[in-house]
Structure 1
Amino acid sequence: MLFIKSDPSKNKELPALSENTFLRYFSFAALYVAQGIPEGLLWYAIPAWLAMNGKTPAEIGSYVAVIGIPWSLKIINAPIMDRFTYLSMGRRRPWVLFGQLGLILSFLSMSLITDPINNLPTLMVLGFIVSFFEVSQDIAVDGMAIDILPVDQQARANGLMWGSKTLGISASVASGSWIMSNYGYFYAIVSFSVFISIIILVPLLLRERPGEKLLPWTKGEASKTAAKIQLHSWKVIFKSLYKVFFLPVSITMGIAAFSFMVGRGLIDTLLPVFTVQQLGWADTQYSQIFATANLISGILGMVIGGFLIDYFGKVKMISIYVTLLILLVASMSFLKDYWQLEWLVIGFVIGFYTLITFSTIAIFATAMQLCWKRISVTQFTLYMAVSNLGLAGGAAIMGQLKGFLSWEYTILIYVVFAVIMLVLIRLINFDKHQKRVDELEIKFANNS
């Protein structure tokens, strides 16, 4: 009888992310939870805690402004990640580890502030550093998702990622606020640092592609797939970005995403003012309903949002979601005489944010599919920058519109931006775009 001796090291090796669907979904969900925890604490729990301890709106606003700076600089970070990496450990994994390790260390550093209430400058500086590493991890994880997720799994993965981040934010806001109120700031920060530290095991133990090094001193080599698409020149990165972003489908997607987010920014900014000033709600009442709506939409997005998009198609589902948003917002505008019915407004808020979440998952998945893998991080981040610009634009025009329009017509303006999105998204042709990207790839290979 013949016995074949197997290599025990290979038997113990976990599958690479490129080889295992479950591990891909699990990894991206876990890493997005790790993003949600500091975001919930920094952006929501700590400002509320500062307010409870007598800090002025100006002081709290300054703190929020400082921690938000790294998010506005994402477009600077992204090309660096496309340009530099340690390929033998993976194209994106070293950057994921960098961001996650930085999150752990900077978060633990925040716990060392002995009197954060009376030491806001230090809290701002360390909050800025935490945000920087959160942004770095976010960009790297998105890049890894684009590089290794098959097209037919992108929407489902985006649903899981979005929902996981929502759960991370909700959990850290709820439990973080409770821990700070009952035990103090130090214990809240340390408690969540432990969770973030556990999550680093995911990128630490799972390779991007088979054969790569797990750690710098272990055996392994760069994947041929990763090495083939890695760029080593700033000139080539920006030249490639210019070529792919100004393809017709890319431009169409950019304008569509911008228009969609202008509409969202308008309603995001309008709702708290509308419910408090027009309907007479307490600000805490709207905050609770908004939080509930986001939690519901996040869970639904995680459970069924991505699945529906993958099953029926991105363009088709975006068209359906945006059409439902148009009908929902138009109905809310026309039902002015029934605005005092609390259940109607609550239903509108939950319905609106559920459809917004489903649409956003599909838009992110669409943007991922349109990316050229050579510069996927930079291209995807540029789509996000355009979207964020639209979000800010929508917030900015709300006050101007309300200056000469009544509430029902200000709400109805959303439909204009949604219709633009609906028309443009029907022009997205993935096959045509991929053919153009393949042509760019051939030209790049011939010129190399």
Structure 2
Amino acid sequence: MGALSALPALSESRRLRLVGFFLMYISQGVPMGLVMTAIPAWLAANGASAGQVGFFIGTAMLPWSFKLVNGLVMDRFCYSPMGRRRAWIIGSQVMMIAALIVTASLAPGPDEIALLAGLAFAFNLCAAVNDVAVDGMAVDILPEDEREKVNGAMAGGQIIGISGSAIMAGAALVAGGVELAAAMAAAVIVVLTITVTLLRERPGEKFLPWTAGLASAECLASAHTKFLPILGKVLRGLAQWRTALFMAGVGFITSSVGMVDVVSPVFSVSELGWSSEAFTNYSSISAMATTLLVMVAIGPLCSRFDNRILMVFFAGLMLLPNLAAYLAPAGTFGTLAMQTYITMFWGGFAGVFVLNIAWSMNLTNPVVAASQYALFMAIPNFVRSLGSGGHGQIVDSYGYDAAFLVAAGSVAMGVGLCLIAGYGRLETIRNPASARIMTDPAPLPGVPAGSAIS
């Protein structure tokens, strides 16, 4: 254990924070790659309708809407000797492995959509708990001047997890069905869990419950003993009208993602004749390439351009392909057009995602980081889940054109609301007397004044 104790903690190393959060977000991406890309394409190739695919995605992704509950529990309970969040991260990854092994053992077929959706719900619940814990740790640990860069790495890690697992699962589903795909995903999470075990939050903490170490002063100062004060701080932050308007805007933008989750695999496989593996590979590789480009570019771009300009630019990349698909004459939206659509949309969403999570962190009170940031993320996730189910029904009832038009309108509405809310203006946080957006100016006892916004 002496060699392990010599390893720096996340709070001590900028490079370790960058690499550590990148790896932790890969873990979250693995189950998402199965449920958002590989399995929907496999279902469509086996005759599932848009409504059925939408039901599967909407059910499987629903746990990401429960993040406020997860956050409240994490802010209330923690194993302090291992840090505020780390025990939750390791425990949720172990449970994710168990859920994937159960999925592999039951191995439902493409006609057992309800069972498959229930199993996907279970392992995504574990992933959602993991996400809340990682995000809470990020708000606790990251200095503000690192957030855009590290959030870019986090987004890159997630998309690598999503894309890599989708490509792997796409081939596995064709070769051995759900049994092989889930087993391979579980193996990846095992490796990542071993790695995360080595990443302490602060120096002197335990690596595992049975190893030496003590709780840090920062962790003890942030401890909570009751739920209601936590919930009160969280809701007071959301009650500010600018914050509420910003979250509504993010929700509108994310609803368009729920549409693309359903329409892109069903349209590509059912209408254009792609195989499920071809769709999974193209969608995953293009999403990975565009997100990695955004991950590298987002830091320099944020240093040079106003965040509002970047927000409009990336949202435009989401809006334009949907508008083009709606306006295209019948029968002219072919394979090349669909490939362009997929690449532009996911590239645009990667940029919007990074900008929004960085801004949400700026609005989050570190004292209740897991709960408040979880709520900021739960709202768009819930809308995305609803969008998946709803747009599947729109396609079945009104056709693809209606779904493309609704998605374009949702992006436009969302960006407008974010800009009205003052998105990108740091003075809305720095000067609460004039902007009235500060999350909570009153710190908890024992927490230094001014720590509500780090």
Same fold (TM over 0.5): yes
> Which segment is superposed worse, 103-112 or 26-35?
103-112
Structure 2 vs 1, CA of residues 343 and 116 (structure 1 numbering), >3 Å: closer, same or farther? closer
Report if aligned partners of 1:50, 1:117 keep a CA contact under 8 Å in 2.
Answer: no
For 1:335 and 1:290, the matched residues in 2 are separated by 21
Matches within 5 A, 1:48-447: 66-113=59-106, 116-117=108-109, 126-182=119-175, 185-262=178-255, 264-265=257-258, 281-282=272-273, 284=275, 290-309=283-302, 312=305, 314-322=307-315, 343=336, 346-391=339-384, 396=390, 399=394, 413-414=409-410, 416-418=412-414, 420-421=416-417, 423-424=419-420, 426=422, 428-434=424-430, 436=432, 440-442=440-442, 444-445=444-445
Report if aligned partners of 1:256, 1:424 keep a CA contact under 8 Å in 2.
Answer: no
Counterpart residue type for residue 37 of structure 1: V
1:4 match? none
Report if aligned partners of 2:155, 2:354 keep a CA contact under 8 Å in 1.
Answer: yes
Counterpart residue type for residue 351 of structure 1: M
Structure 2 vs 1, CA of residues 148 and 311 (structure 1 numbering), >3 Å: closer, same or farther? farther
- The structure whose RCO (Cα within 8 Å, separation 6+) is larger is 2
Offset, 1:281: 3.2
Matches within 5 A, 1:4-23: 9=2, 13-23=6-16
Instruction: Note the alpha carbon deviations across 1:345-397, whole angstroms, 9 max, x for none.
Output: 64344223212211121111111111001111221122223223544676648
The 3-state SS of whatever aligns with 1:71 is helix
**Structural RMSD (CA):** 4.2
Counterpart residue type for residue 282 of structure 1: G
2:451 match? none
Report if aligned partners of 1:32, 1:162 keep a CA contact under 8 Å in 2.
Answer: yes
Report if aligned partners of 1:326, 1:418 keep a CA contact under 8 Å in 2.
Answer: no
Instruction: Note the alpha carbon deviations across 1:12-51, whole angstroms, 9 max, x for none.
Output: 5210001111211111111221222222234544455567
The 3-state SS of whatever aligns with 1:357 is helix
Report if aligned partners of 1:259, 1:418 keep a CA contact under 8 Å in 2.
Answer: yes
Structure 2 vs 1, CA of residues 283 and 418 (structure 1 numbering), >3 Å: closer, same or farther? farther
Report if aligned partners of 1:85, 1:94 keep a CA contact under 8 Å in 2.
Answer: yes
Report if aligned partners of 2:28, 2:127 keep a CA contact under 8 Å in 1.
Answer: yes
Offset, 1:304: 2.2
Counterpart residue type for residue 360 of structure 2: A
> Which segment is superposed worse, 193-202 or 385-394?
385-394
Structure 1 gaps of 5+ residues are 1-7
Report if aligned partners of 1:31, 1:199 keep a CA contact under 8 Å in 2.
Answer: yes
Offset, 1:246: 1.9
For 2:325 and 2:118, the matched residues in 1 are separated by 43
For 2:66 and 2:446, the matched residues in 1 are separated by 34
Report if aligned partners of 1:160, 1:301 keep a CA contact under 8 Å in 2.
Answer: no
For 1:29 and 1:273, the matched residues in 2 are separated by 31
Q: TM-score normalized by structure 1?
A: 0.80
Offset, 1:197: 1.0
| Number of residue pairs matched by the alignment | 438
For 1:335 and 1:48, the matched residues in 2 are separated by 24
The 3-state SS of whatever aligns with 1:371 is coil
Counterpart residue type for residue 420 of structure 1: G
Report if aligned partners of 1:301, 1:358 keep a CA contact under 8 Å in 2.
Answer: yes
Q: Larger radius of gyration, structure 1 or 2?
A: 1
Structure 2 vs 1, CA of residues 343 and 244 (structure 1 numbering), >3 Å: closer, same or farther? same
2:452 match? none
Offset, 1:244: 1.8
> Which segment is superposed worse, 352-361 or 57-66?
57-66
Structure 2 vs 1, CA of residues 93 and 382 (structure 1 numbering), >3 Å: closer, same or farther? same
Counterpart residue type for residue 172 of structure 1: S
Offset, 1:332: 7.0
> Which segment is superposed worse, 263-272 or 129-138?
263-272
Report if aligned partners of 1:160, 1:306 keep a CA contact under 8 Å in 2.
Answer: no
> Which segment is superposed worse, 180-189 or 225-234?
180-189
Offset, 1:158: 2.0
Report if aligned partners of 2:167, 2:280 keep a CA contact under 8 Å in 1.
Answer: no
For 1:271 and 1:48, the matched residues in 2 are separated by 9
The 3-state SS of whatever aligns with 2:445 is helix
Counterpart residue type for residue 425 of structure 2: N
Offset, 1:221: 1.9
Structure 2 vs 1, CA of residues 17 and 311 (structure 1 numbering), >3 Å: closer, same or farther? farther
For 1:304 and 1:374, the matched residues in 2 are separated by 31
Q: TM-score normalized by structure 2?
A: 0.79
For 2:431 and 2:30, the matched residues in 1 are separated by 40
Structure 2 vs 1, CA of residues 43 and 230 (structure 1 numbering), >3 Å: closer, same or farther? same
| Sequence identity (%) | 26
Report if aligned partners of 2:250, 2:414 keep a CA contact under 8 Å in 1.
Answer: no
